[in-house]
Amino acid sequence: MDSTLRDGEQTSGVSFVPHEKLMVARMLLRDVNVDRIEVASARVSDGEKTAVAMICRYAQMTDAIGRVEVLGFVDGGRSVDWIADCGGKVINLLSKGSLKHCMQQLGKTAAEHILDIRREVDYAHSKGLEVNLYLEDWSNGMKDSPDYVFQMMEGLKDCGIRRFMLPDTLGVLNPMQVMEFFRTMLECYPETHFDFHAHNDYDLAVANSLAAVVSGAAGLHVTVNGLGERCGNAPLSSVQVIMRDQLGVKTSICEDRLNEISRLVESYSGISVAPNQPIVGENVFTQVAGVHADGDNKDRLYCNDLTPERFGRKREYALGKASGKANIEMNLQELGLELEPEQVRQITKRITELGDRKAVVTQEDLPFIVSDVLKHTAPEEADKVKLLGYMVSLAYGIKPLASLKVSINGEEFTGEATGDGQYDAFVKALRRIYRDKLGRSLPDLLNYAVTIPPGGRTDALVQTVITWQDENRIFRTRALDADQTQAAINATIKMLNQIENSR
């Protein structure tokens, strides 16, 4: 049972508007195909009533109304009426599963509470509603007041409740306790359908869900992206893959829609999914280490049963300082490029250099890097102009200064200049070397354009294209780097080599 629209909405800061609730409900029922959804708490607001009515209308039309559930209170029939008004057919009645909650929150004895619940159940049945019962705070009930829990079960087992829903409301259990408590419940009530409702306060919601199923739970409560009160509930996607891969339990879920529903809920809730969240996180199908890429290339040696294709996703091989040749080859193959080993080596070297300087290199950047490395760069030994070292300064209130050392046709020169910006200072120092040491002038700077490669990210690479012109020729060179000035300097050195090569 997916409770994204009820418990998930109890995430701090999350509030779905009615049409969002309808969209999520529709995708959960029709595409992801969860068995049941809990869509709201009764009596909350008029907007919530509109949303529940919209969902019930949709579910009625698609024959799914029995799969739509609404949490209701033991409140003398008010929740039942509210749900029935919306067209709902199932109430998940919230009752107290620990003596503490019963006595201190409701101010009732167990016997009084049981009587109230039985009246509520009868009334719900009279209105044509099916009833499931939450024993709220059941986990603490089993720890502190097990007699109370069994008094409740005894008092309620014969009144037509379809499912008893056992919540670890405060997320305090561990898997061993879940197993012990479930086995105890099932020993006493072997024919009863028990759901387990986990909370993630100790980061054990998924492990506890697994333990519950192993111990005989017939249903689990989950939410998309693990949304829910405080630390949330067990994430639908994680629970699904554990059921299938680890326990061999068959579910109705369409796994290839899990990513889609995760994105939808991420967008509507405004709560981002962690990049390392299993199944649906951005990074979870990305191999970073070069050795892993090599192993996958040879025989999928670093792949497990969680193949991205199951979830409508793709495996990627990250680019950065940990990329090896194999990693880059896989990315080049993806682009349909077949290059010489030496070319792959040069590209690998460039990506490693960029990664070393913390640049985030994306696959979308790759075509630009390939072009950057292969188009302009002659083999290094053939470079007639080499930048041997440089320093550019930037300080408030003082003009930027550039100091550089270059080798031109095998001879070394140094120069310094100030300028209106770092690049301007660099170019002025170069011009000074060419004029004073070689008696030559450099072409005029016609254009200087800095862009982000299409598809790239602002925090990653920038592309600088510089255009120079002498009397009758135009030189245009491009370079890519994480740093804009460095990119411009690289493009300038490429341009100087073009000039030398054309002399």
Ligand X SMILES: CC(=O)SCCNC(=O)CCNC(=O)[C@H](O)C(C)(C)COP(=O)(O)OP(=O)(O)OC[C@H]1O[C@@H](n2cnc3c(N)ncnc32)[C@H](O)[C@@H]1OP(=O)(O)O
Binding site for ligand X (CB under 6 A): 7, 41, 43-44, 71, 73-75, 94-95, 105-106, 134, 136, 229
Our CB check for ligand X shows the closer of 74 and 491 to be 74
Q: Residue 63, by phi and psi: left (phi above 0), alpha (psi -120 to 50) or beta?
A: left
Rounded CA-CA distance 18/62 in Å is 19
Rounded CA-CA distance 500/478 in Å is 17
Determine the angle formed by the axes of helices 175-188 and 146-156, rounding to 10 degrees.
Answer: 40
Our CB check for ligand X shows the closer of 197 and 292 to be 197
Our CB check for ligand X shows the closer of 137 and 481 to be 137
Rounded CA-CA distance 503/499 in Å is 6
- Asked if 215 and 178 count as a contact pair (C-beta separation under 8 A), the reply is yes
Which residue among 38, 136, 316, 329 is the active-site one?
Answer: 136
Our CB check for ligand X shows the closer of 229 and 329 to be 229
The CB-of-122 to ligand X minimum distance in angstroms stands at: 16
Which residue among 6, 163, 313, 350 is the active-site one?
Answer: 6
DSSP labels, 87-156: T--EEEEEEE-SHHIIIIII---HHHHHHHHHHHHHHHHHTT-EEEEEEETHHHHHHH-HHHHHHHHHHH
Our CB check for ligand X shows the closer of 134 and 196 to be 134
CA distances from 312 to 27, 35, 259, 265, 308 (A): 15, 21, 7, 17, 6
The CB-of-239 to ligand X minimum distance in angstroms stands at: 18
Examine the residue annotation and report whether 471 is marked as an active-site residue of this protein: no
What is the CB neighbour count within 10 angstroms for residue 32?
A: 24
Our CB check for ligand X shows the closer of 136 and 329 to be 136
Give the residue carrying structure tokens 């009160």.
229
Q: What residues contact residue 168 under an 8 Å CB cut-off, 6+ apart?
A: 138, 139, 178, 196, 197, 198, 199, 208
Looking at the DSSP bridge assignments, the partners of residue 166 are 196
Our CB check for ligand X shows the closer of 43 and 476 to be 43
Rounded CA-CA distance 5/24 in Å is 8
- Asked if 448 and 422 count as a contact pair (C-beta separation under 8 A), the reply is no
Examine the residue annotation and report whether 6 is marked as an active-site residue of this protein: yes
Strand arrangement, sheet containing 385-392: 385-392, 401-408, 411-418
Active site residues: 6, 136
